[in-house]
Chain A
């Protein structure tokens, strides 16, 4: 019963007794105008620009596709160098290193090393094919970081392979020398 009276106390009372400060309506009206003014303007601009942009976009697409078919030179755009100057440097560094090592490998060609070098070149071909794949992936994925990473790893694998082969050739040579020396002793 006490509780009933307590609840009734709240039922027939109006608790909305406070008023906001003077001028709140004007302040709200300003806010309202601001809020409604911004999206409308944007919409108008978008409506004006939408056809222009779509035409420009389709033109750009046509040019891009044409360029892709017309000049095979553009294919070079798919490699690491096209991503950023740093990547261009990286690519130049690795390709330089690889050609140097390949040259060193070519100098070592001889009767004892022929099989190992041929095998190495075979492996190199596989890695190069892999790289060509990655170049395609790079475009498909929209320059995904993982693909870039894989490309760099591919370079490193090639260098590792060449290094490995070169050290093995060194070993073969030194082994021969040593065994020769051993024979002397």
Chain B
């Protein structure tokens, strides 16, 4: 049987295993990758080729339906649909002579629905141009897209820029959460040391800080890989990227400070004080400054805020366990590191 005190360690490992399996194996929902051409004119018969992701256009057969929808809610249905293969379909629309909005260039949303894949949406898929008002009256078949199918599969949402990298949400973000929890525990032990003067608290603070930096580096690496795939470069001089490097520098300085004192008691006191001081600057650094300037990260500079529309319910089922799992695993790593530091200290004392 598992000892009582070890349950949290096991649950941390089980959660991480669950996150790796579910996070990597659950497929993405089908979506629209690209539309060619992405522009057209009023009054013409527009033939476009749609490339889908994880779609089954051939399999969908007669259940396949497609619409172009304007922002004011008006929509037209596709006149003709030819599935070339599972991922490509040719759609033909008769664009009305009089476009329903008043601007010269109007962006329309493409909707595709089938029993095999459910509904896929691509906003601003096609830009339609109305050069002059054509006054000839015509019968336009305005429709209201409805009766969307639901194929009932468990999927992660498809986001055009993210693609499969959306899975990094379960690793990159929980690692940052874990790092903050670890640094928080380091501060708690530093405070404990200053109050009680117990040498073990000092070692615990050191162990938590070490694992915190380790998590921070992992968070930085996963973030850089994600940035390469979505923003186009490993390093974009984004304010949040810079601030996290600064945070890691602050904690790297902690170890230089540790190394420069001989007397263990003096070292413990100075490092505890520095640890608390550093943590209190971390709050403006990570939460206040990035809000002042534009950032590519979600939650600032016009990007959608994290949590509201970026996570759907399926993602939550993996994301929250990931946060808890990685944090628990970090605590386990820290306790191992603490025991190692304690043994090392004992050996030094014996020598």
A interacts with B: no
Which chain B residues have a beta carbon within 8 Å of chain A's beta carbons?
A: none
A residues whose Cβ falls under 8 Å from a Cβ of B: none
